[in-house]
Structure 1
Amino acid sequence: MILKGFKEKSNKKYLNKLLNERQGRVDDSKIESLGIIFNYDEAENFEQFRILADKLNVRPDRLKIIAFSQREIELQSTWDVCYNFKDFGWKGSVNNSELQAFIKTEFDALVSFYSKDVLELKLMTALSKAKFKIGVLQNDERLNDLIIKTKMNEFDVFKNELFKYLTILNKI
């Protein structure tokens, strides 16, 4: 139990280091690849993300969706990867090869669809090599380049606002 607390503290320290070093860079390159991180405990409907990608004209082979759950459950392979807190080690290390591949992929955009303050979700967002990061309102505004303030159950509002802002930013 004590080791779990030390591990969490080490991961928080690493996350703060990543976020302090992060420099936002926004260009007008079009979104052709999309990564999505969502909290399965908050939004179980993964199909809405495929519809979002379709609306943004992202081809299915350029879309990667991962889910996080604090519960240990066996999920169908309806999206690419499901992970939990056990996939993380000390100092922000990722012990899952599929998650490491996701982190190293340079997506044109990353959508972080979660509102709960979960360290592992924030680590995945911060570690991602995505060029442009989008999220719903969160406690730490350093995580994303574009924040769309919506409730988790208002996905259509999120989708419409995202489309509007990406059009303004000349991303689609």
Structure 2
Amino acid sequence: MILKGFKEKSIKKKLNALLDSPKVVVEDGFVKSIGVLFNADEVGDFEMFKSLSDYLNVRPNKLKIIAFTENKKENLFSWNVCFNPKDIGWLGKINNPELETFLNADFDLLISFYTSDILELKLLTALSKAKYKASIFQNDKRLNDLIISTEVKQFSVFKSELKKYLKVFNKLRNE
């Protein structure tokens, strides 16, 4: 039990160091690739993210979805990568090669779709090399470039608001 507390504290330290470091990157360009990080304990249907990529005119092969669950069973979602807290070690070290690949991918847009204040999800959002980050998570404003205040169940609202703001920020091609 004590080791779990120390591990959590080391991950928090890494997260705060990532979020406090200055990061001013202005990227021009359109959204051509999307990474989605979501909490499988809150959202059961990953197909809605595929409809989002269609809605934003992003090719299906440029969409990568990864799920998090606090459940220890890793084979819950055989459709794609699913990780749990054991995949993250001391000081936020990633122990899962698929998760590491996802974080190092240079997505044009990362969508962090979770509302739970889970340390591992926040760390992964911060570690992602995505150029632009959007989320519904509101507890830490430093994590994302765009926060759309909706509930998890209001995905259609999130989808339309995201498209609206991406057009305003000139991140979508004119259709």
Structure 1: distance between partners of 2:165 and 2:107: 18
The answer to whether residue 47 in structure 2 is matched with residue 47 in structure 1 is yes
Q: Measure the CA separation in 2 of the matches of 1:30 and 1:77.
A: 31
User: 1-side partners of 2:13 and 2:100: how far apart?
Assistant: 20
* Structure 2 counterparts to residues 124-163 of structure 1, below 5 A: 124-163=124-163
Q: Which runs of 5+ in 2 are unaligned?
A: none
Structure 2: distance between partners of 1:108 and 1:27? 9
CA distance in 1, matches of 2:155, 2:105: 25
In structure 1, the residue matched to 2:88 is 88
Correspondence for 2:25 = 25
Counterpart in 2 of 1:60?
60
CA contact (8 A) 1:26 1:132 kept: no
Q: Output the aligned Cα RMSD.
A: 1.0
- What's the CA shift string for 1:47-88, capped at 9, x where partnerless? 00000011111111111000000112322322x210000000
Unaligned runs of 5+ in 1: none
Q: Distance in 2 between matches of 1:163 and 1:33?
A: 14
Aligned to 2:35: 35
**Following the alignment from structure 2 to structure 1, what is the Cα–Cα distance between the partners of residues 46 and 72?**
18
Is 1:76 aligned to 2:69, yes or no? no
- Give the TM-score normalised by structure 1: 0.96
Contact kept? 1:117, 1:138, Cα under 8 Å: no
Report the TM-score, using the length of structure 2 for normalisation.
0.94
CA deviation profile, 1:102-129 (whole Å, cap 9, x unmatched): 0110100000000100011001100000
Q: How much does 1:22 deviate?
A: 4.4
**CA 1:20–1:104 in 2, change beyond 3 Å: closer, same or farther?**
same
Q: Which amino acid aligns with 1:28?
A: D
In 2, Cα distance between equivalents of 1:24 and 1:40 = 31
CA shift for structure 1 position 101: 0.3
Q: Is the 8 A contact 2:53 2:59 kept in 1?
A: yes
Partners of 1:95 and 1:56 in 2: CA distance: 32
Aligned-partner Cα distance in 1 for 2:5–2:107: 33
Provide the identity percentage.
57
For 1:136 and 1:169, the matched residues in 2 are separated by 18
Q: CA deviation at 1:27?
A: 3.3
The whole-number CA distance in structure 2 between the counterparts of 1:22 and 1:89 is 25
Moved over 4 A (4+): none
User: Matched residues in 1 for 2:98 and 2:138: separation?
Assistant: 25
Matched position secondary structure for 1:152: coil
